[in-house]
A and B are shown apart, each in its own frame.
Chain A
Amino acid sequence: MSAAGTVLSVRHLCKSYRAGQPVLTDINLEVMIRSITAVIGPSGTGKSTLIRCINRLVEPTSGSIMFEGTDLIRLRRRELREARRRVGMVFQEYNLVERLTVMENLLSGRLGYVSAWKAWRRSFPREDIERAFELLNIVGLEGFADARADSLSGGQRQRVGIARAVMQQPSLLLADEPTSSLDPKTSVEIMQLLTDIARDRGIPVIINMHDVGLARRFADRIIGMAGGCVVFDAVPGLLADDALKKIYGGEDWMH
């Protein structure tokens, strides 16, 4: 039922943490290959929940999520883990394993393919290690392989976070407010890096964000959410004041 070039198709997705109090109501969206989709909306409107429902870090209540020919909602344990390998994720607070080195964090992106015992002994396949070093150069952290994650700055950590997600060789990247903990200049650099890497590899990205300016600048599609529903879905050029009013409510903040 999905058109060619569709990577992800979310249908009638609903989520409520408590019965009768839906956080997401009837979300429908399709994500095409090579697209950069920004999801904007006020805090607490379910952006994070939406993104976590897609790789099922949060269990959806109902609906379907078609990804690479399977409905993610129906998958169990092993199948779910295998599907998760194909979805990379970048986090607001980077979520690196602080006490491990940069290289170990990058290689943790391969954990879906390497047994726990081998991972414990740090015996990763040679091609993984070589790709990790290449990626480290691409994200601008050459020479940091041995640095411990907790010794890095916020921007550097997010670079590691992006590299870890790309190490999975994913067909979809999810980013949950990747720049919300960063200063404005670093935010732009991180967004540039994330979108460049995704475009180079043809990986579609869904990015939750708070910064409407950054969303306009880097995304080729903007989804506006309010009260757990999609209230806007179009190219950035169409995101006018009335749309923003619908998403965030009020208008004093715009001026």
Chain B
Amino acid sequence: MVTSTAHRLAVLRPNRWARLGALLLLAYVVYATAQMDVSWERVAAGLHNAAHFLTRLLPPTFSRWELLSNGLLESLEIAVLASTLGIVLSLPLGFIAARNLMPGWASWPARLVIVSARSFHPVIVAIVFVKAVGFGALAGILALTVASIGFIGKLFAEAIEEISLKQVEAVRATGASFMGIVAIAVLPQVFARFIGFCTYQLDSNLRNSTMVGIVGAGGIGGTLFAAFQRFDYDYVCAILISIIALIMIGEMVATYVRAIFIDGMTFAEMFHRRLSALGTRPERRFDDE
């Protein structure tokens, strides 16, 4: 086939639709900014207010620590229970939703449940559950369970859809039953990713559990909101610091769980690695792996 020079150059020319799209996006950003009525006066006033607010945040006061710790413990309870319940429910649901293993009549309803669980923000779901079961932690647990099903269910189904079917074929050829294939050829392929999703969701539930309290679904969020409304900014600061500490602890736990399940490390090995990592720069750690 003969191609003209113009034709050859056209191969390298950027896509005009992509350019048009980028231009439209830029135009919308300019338009939306104009709509926001942002002016230098507002920014200046805002900065002044922020400085005032920041001075009132400090120093934090932990005088009402009992209320604080009760709220935090309730948040932790909401996060752990919602994660556990969510994981237990989304395991079979995500499995049924995987289109490569299940027939359409089974996977579509499961996908529908997962999609509807994902379609609303946890706070909106929490408002619904507060109306249904009343104020308190139960509403928060149910709301975050729904969020967990939406997240883990979807990712778990996708992970199963991406497995290597060659490994499945080989196990099928041995005369294994369907459940045997699942246990030996499917789950090992998705197990590590599943642990990853679960720890990520626990992390996310921990953060959300400090927020659902704002709509009355239990946890530290209610206390935080009340403190804000009473202008108890020093107490707000104490609550924020505690939340940050809780999230950091949660993240550490998640890292350890991943190290144990995914890398197959024991506590002793992890402790050893921590120790040996203390004195070295982070990039050095890649050398010995």
Contacts and interface: CB of A to CB of B under 8 A. Distances in A.
A31 interface: no
12 contacts: A57-B169, A81-B175, A81-B176, A84-B172, A85-B174, A89-B174, A91-B170, A98-B189, A111-B181, A112-B174, A117-B183, A120-B187
Interface string B34-77: 00000000000000000000000000000000000000000000
Interface residues of A, number: 34
A1 interface: no
A192 interface: no
Interface size class of B (residues with CB under 8 A): 20 to 34
Contacts of B192: 99
Closest 4 A-B residue pairs measured CB to CB? A112-B175, A116-B179, A111-B176, A85-B175
Interface of B: 164, 166-167, 169-177, 179-185, 187-189, 191-192
A168 interface: yes
With most chain A CB atoms within 10 A of its CB, the pick from B175, B180, B191 is B175
A104 B191 CA distance: 16
A109 to B, nearest CB: 5
Given A93-B166, A95-B169, A84 B185 contact: no
Secondary structure at the B interface, as helix, strand, loop or mixed, is: helix
A96 B167 CA distance: 6
Given A99-B189, A111-B175, A168-B175, A89 B183 contact: no
A112 to B, nearest CB: 3
Given A93-B166, A116-B182, A120-B183, A87 B188 contact: no
A97 B180 contact: no
Contact of A111 (B164, B169, B180, B187): B180
Interface in A229-247: none
Given A55-B173, A116-B177, A116-B182, 11 more contacts: A57-B169, A87-B173, A93-B166, A95-B166, A95-B167, A97-B184, A97-B185, A98-B189, A99-B188, A99-B189, A109-B174
